[in-house]
Amino acid sequence: MLVEFNILLLLKLFLPPFIYIMILYLTAPNKTLNLKIAALCFFGGILSTNFVQLYYALVDIVATNPFDLQFFSVAPREEICKLLSFAGVMMLFRKQSIHPVATMFYMGIIGLGFATFENFMYGIMYGESIVLPRSLTSTLGHLIFGLFLGYWMGLGKIDIGKYGNRSLFGFYMYKYKKLKMGVYTLIGLLSAITFHGLWNYNLTVSWMAATPIMILMIVFGLSTSKFGSTDLNNHYRKSLKK
């Protein structure tokens, strides 16, 4: 009996997300990102693909065109399942104080785990050669979707005080913190679904223009995420002075 181990496939699958995680770790505010929690989030993202299959079995959305398929079926299904997985992992650390920027990054890492297993399945279906290009593109896409959602979840956790809210909405959200977290999570989920749907829709209908548009989306998504993490950290530091 001959046993072969495909070390090259393993590297293609796991090396890019590992590099992305280390970049998040090194760019996060000092001592905010815990690598143990990050690892659990990554494996939680892998397990979230099982939620997608369960979603398929329980909810059937019939789409007649690419727009409806991507924005109302594929994107919501995957982002909701990743959010459920994130919530499951965070339940293990509910007694632990987690920095808002770490919340944002952990949600992004859930996306990395999801994308890694998705790349593995695509490799089985279409050949190993597709894995590395997807690890450099779609994996970044899922990271960005997660960061978009995580930003709003992190923002929802920040308490800037009763008089730090300058709008009627902010004042009302201060009084009902659980409602605030729910509203902000919903905003983040819609942001992730919208960007995810646009990503998939572009790949479906743009033909020759799909790749340059995808690159622009990656640049925009990463730049926006960097701005978001800085904004979160600034809001959090201000909340400590209230």
Q: Give domain limits for the chain.
A: 7-239
pTM score of the predicted model:
0.93
Tell me the mean pLDDT in the region 113-123: 95
Mean pLDDT rounded to a whole number for the chain: 90
Distance CA 168, CA 214 (A): 38
At 133 the pLDDT is 93
CA distances (Å), origin 19, targets 35, 112, 122, 140, 194: 13, 11, 21, 11, 26
Q: Which two tokens stand for residue 205?
A: 């209908």
Q: Which residue has the higher pLDDT, 57 or 208?
A: 208
Could you report the per-residue pLDDT of 160-176, keeping only the tens digit for each? Answer: 655 455 566 666 666 77
